[in-house]
Amino acid sequence: ITCDDKGVVTDLVLFQNGLSGTIPPEIAFLPHLDKVYLQGGMGGGIGGTIPASLGTLTHATQISLSSNFLEGTIPPELGNLESMFLFSLWGNRLTGPIPST
């Protein structure tokens, strides 16, 4: 977890740490996130669905949710992330279309 000089969380990089559970919609309470890496591996992984609230992280340039147990569709709200240049979802159980920007 990285913070800027004002103590604002900018990067949430937690990969291959045996994570479990789901992605809480409250992740949107960290509006200045630039990088979100919640990759599974090491015998663990996040399940459930991708919360639509990720679409409010307008500062995000990189989101990786790879190697987890995510299911369902990719929320259309993620199409709002115009600054995004890396969005990785491989190794999940997602279905449906990729949202357009």
- Residue 17 maps to which CATH number? 3.80.10.10
Distances (CA, A) of 84 to 28, 30, 47, 54, 70: 16, 16, 23, 12, 20
Q: Would the pTM count as exceeding 0.85?
A: yes
Report yes or no on 31 lying in a domain: yes
Q: Please give the single-letter amino acid code of residue 92.
A: N
pLDDT in tens, 15-71: 877 788 999 999 999 999 999 999 987 667 899 999 999 999 999 999 999 999 999
Three-state SS for 27?
helix
Q: How many residues does the chain have?
A: 101
**Kind of pairing, strands 47-48 and 69-73?**
parallel
Note down the domain range covering 14. Answer: 2-95
Structural domain total, the chain? 1
